[in-house]
């Protein structure tokens, strides 16, 4: 005589869990915020390392700039540029890092005819990998 197995599933429990997962996936503010904090830290590290987001060193200061500044620290004179770097939120699904309130930031990042570019904000392959890990961990945390 064959034994039978009966499985009973309460649809309300399954639907409740699905609704909760859908709600969490609809609001990605947690991994977006974590990613933005990570990129803010990494951007500030670029100043400490005097390097681009992909790790290439910034061009050295010209002798005339060294004489004028009195310091060899690249892109840091008053600290205003570094202090202006912040997370700009744009809803629950996006955020970005920018330098606000410092008009000369773009000239340092992009360069001019008399000054080399010294990129300090950006995303490298290493950053993309870490951000993907942040999102994967979040999605795994809401798995049914």
Distance CA 35, CA 28 (A): 11
Q: In the predicted model, is pLDDT for residue 144 greater than 60?
A: no
Q: State pTM to two decimals.
A: 0.79
Report the pLDDT value the prediction gives residue 91, as an integer from 0 to 100: 65
Report the pLDDT value the prediction gives residue 21, as an integer from 0 to 100: 74
For residues 91 and 101, the model is more confident at 101
Q: Which of 5-14, 19-28, 69-78, 89-98 has the lowest mean pLDDT?
A: 5-14
Q: What's the CA dihedral at 117, 122, 128, 130 to 10 degrees?
A: 110
Q: Is the dihedral of CA 53, 55, 58, 59 positive or negative?
A: negative
Rounded mean pLDDT, 99-110: 89
Q: In the predicted model, is pLDDT for residue 90 greater than 70?
A: no
Q: In the predicted model, is pLDDT for residue 9 greater than 70?
A: no
Could you read off the pLDDT of 33-82 as tens digits, one per residue? 899 999 999 999 999 999 999 999 999 999 998 888 878 899 998 899 99
Distance CA 29, CA 69 (A): 42
With a CB cutoff of 8 Å and minimum separation 6, the contacts of 61 are 69, 72, 74
Report the pLDDT value the prediction gives residue 8, as an integer from 0 to 100: 66
Q: Could you state, in order of their start, the residue ranges of all structural domains in the chain?
A: 11-141
């Amino acid at each position: 005589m064959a034994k039978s197995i009966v499985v009973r599933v309460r649809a309300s429990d399954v639907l409740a869990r699905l609704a909760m997962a859908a709600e969490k996936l609809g609001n990605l503010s947690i991994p977006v915020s974590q990613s933005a904090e990570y990129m803010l830290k990494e951007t500030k590290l670029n100043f400490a390392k005097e390097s681009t987001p992909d790790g290439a060193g910034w061009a050295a200061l010209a002798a005339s700039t060294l004489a004028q500044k009195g310091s060899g620290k690249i892109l840091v004179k008053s600290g205003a540029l570094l202090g202006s770097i912040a997370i700009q939120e744009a809803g629950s699904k996006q955020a970005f890092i920018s330098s606000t309130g410092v008009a000369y930031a773009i000239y340092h990042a992009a360069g001019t005819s008399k000054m080399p570019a010294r990129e300090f904000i950006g995303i490298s392959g290493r950053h993309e990998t870490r951000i993907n890990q942040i999102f994967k961990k979040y999605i795994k945390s809401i798995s049914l």
